[in-house]
Amino acid sequence: MNVVARRLFPLTQVFQFRATQPDRSSADLFFLQWLSFSGLMVFAAYLLWRANIWGILVAADPTGITLMIIAVFLFATVWVGMRAWTLSQERRALDAWIAAVRPQFAPAAAPSGPAGCVQDYLSALVSKSRHHDHDNGQLTEVLAERLHGPSESAWWVNGIQIKLGLLGKVIGFSILAIEISQIQNFDASQSQTLLKTLTGGLGIALLTTAVGLVANMLLGIQLVKMDRCSDGILVDALEFAETGLVALTRPEHGAAVMAVAPVALTLVAVPTDDQEPA
């Protein structure tokens, strides 16, 4: 039994350590997911380079539209990573406010965190409450705009990739039509050369369309995750402003709640006269 107890003791320490670890917020998870996605994209780009796919793409598209689509995708992906880090900072600021109104051995006090939309929103609510102004509708609209405003521009950039693909399709088919119109007489001995000439424009049309669609889908996945992360921060901030922020905006109410809680616990612990001893 002692041997079994010694072997189980480290396992209990591991489970206790994992149970005491705080859960990561959705913003932190989104930033880690973006890092994993970026690493996967870098690895895929390396494999394509080893297979000389990049050289084939450059040679097959003399218009350069394919490279433009890839450049837009890379720029937008880096921007999403920066935005993910910003959202994680906003989430930390909100967590700091939540921890500040639930202290263990001190009165509630507003934290002094880094500047951000959540920090500005909650600080403005506390400032307005001191003047007995509890109408926070306009501040809520400002917070929603600051959290979701940048993503609207990102979705517009995401649409550019499809538009560039369609532009490449139009250019490719235009080149194909010009080449067909320049054919005056058909010679069976020159059919192979003629097919190579005609497939040049068709290749441009298909390649740019395919690259634009793939880039649009990959960037769209990142933007959807970013919007869901912003929604989570906005919902938690509004819920905290309506429920938890009362300890800072109305200190007398928070003190009354803290004073009533021990009395309620005492009343629950005291047995009544009808109860018989066990």
| DSSP-assigned letters across all residues of 70-108 | HHHHHHHHHHHHHHHHHHHHHHHHHHHHHHHTS-SSS--
| pLDDT above 70 for 266 | no
Query: What's residue 222's pLDDT?
Result: 93
Q: What percent of the chain has pLDDT over 90?
A: 23
**Whole-model pTM above 0.85?**
no
Q: Are 248 and 106 in contact (CB under 8 A)?
A: no
Which tens digits make up the pLDDT trace of 190-225? 666 666 667 777 888 888 999 999 999 999 999 999
| pLDDT above 90 for 99 | no
Q: Are 72 and 175 in contact (CB under 8 A)?
A: no
| pLDDT above 60 for 106 | no
Q: Range with the lowest mean pLDDT among 69-73, 99-103, 163-167, 266-270?
A: 266-270
- Give 263 or 160, the one with higher predicted confidence: 160
Query: What's residue 148's pLDDT?
Result: 85
Q: Range with the lowest mean pLDDT among 83-87, 93-97, 163-167?
A: 93-97
- Give 260 or 40, the one with higher predicted confidence: 40
Residue among 209, 206, 221 nearest 164 (CA): 209
Mean pLDDT value across the chain: 75
